[in-house]
Structure 1
Amino acid sequence: MINVVAYIRVSTSGQGESGLGQDAQRDYIERAAQANGWNIIGEFVDVVSGKLALGDRPEGKKALAACKQHNAQLLVAKLDRLSRSVLHIAQLMEQVDFKVATMPQADKFQLHLFAALAQQEREFIAQRTKDALAALQRRADAGEAEAVAKVNRRTQALEKGRAVADITAANNVRMEKVTSFQVTVKPHVEACLYRKLTTLQAVADCLNAKGLRTSRGSEWNPTAVRRLMLALNLSFDKAV
């Protein structure tokens, strides 16, 4: 029986490119393993762009290490879960043997060929799209009303997409800062609770006495303490 390590990748939006989310990929993998007698010994999931080589992805690196450690092969639902780059696929073939659930009998030559054809088709589509947009822009520049309307709608959609991306990035940065702050202040809250304090105001006074401030630079009050304790899953009855 062949041991395999399952690897799943979804895009940063949480929706798998090509419509393959985590559950769908896992279903493909499990059915292929059952049909071919493969033994799944582990699973790794990345939420990352497919532009990165597998070894540059956090969980992808672990999946490769697991394959080497257990003399196992890598198993993915579709070839593009590994990469959309022929170069990355070719380099990966030098590092590990892998199988694709949707084409379980394909050998290395066939997989390389499929990757090359897929990349070529993407390049053709990109060029056709570029040419079509250039033609549309020329028609708009010439004053064709329908073309002008389409260009305006596309511009608005792109601007909206960029705005959403900017908001998402800003929120991610904010959450990272909040999490880092909470981790830093947690030992101090635990120390206050260790003193058998029983009210939110008492904990606030304890933190203020230590010279600590909230993430916004304010003094602690009962409301701020309550929010922090909820975020850290701390309570008075859990105090040691």
Structure 2
Amino acid sequence: MVQRIPFIVTELGPDVDPFMLHIHAAVAQKERERIAQRTREALAAAKARGQILGNATIGQVRKAEADLHAEHFRPILAPLRDLPAKRISVILNERGVTTPRGGKWQANQVIRMLGRLNIAVLNSARPT
């Protein structure tokens, strides 16, 4: 609104007065603040009751799952360990091997995966 970009609020229709838009924006902002305050109060009350918030072990569990999933790539990556990470990523993409999330490989992903598998990789820049 400050930059004078026209927009339509579906609840108010296309011909709404800018003043009404400001009023609705202010009310929405106030409601967001009230929701945040109620959430903070509820979490503080739960903590005061002794309720455990969050999961302290989730990071360890997810790391173990990632390590287990990475083992699938060991037989694919181990023979390529003497190549630079950039070259490995190109080879994996040419072979149609997707990343754990189903995408294309980048050098940094190869480096992280090799690190997870404790396989050393050459730096992309070769000494002359």
**TM-score (structure 1 length as normaliser):** 0.29
**TM-score (structure 2 length as normaliser):** 0.49
If asked which structure has higher relative contact order (CA below 8 Å, sep 6+), I would say 2
Q: Normalized per residue, which structure has more helix?
A: 1
Q: Normalized per residue, which structure has more strand?
A: 1
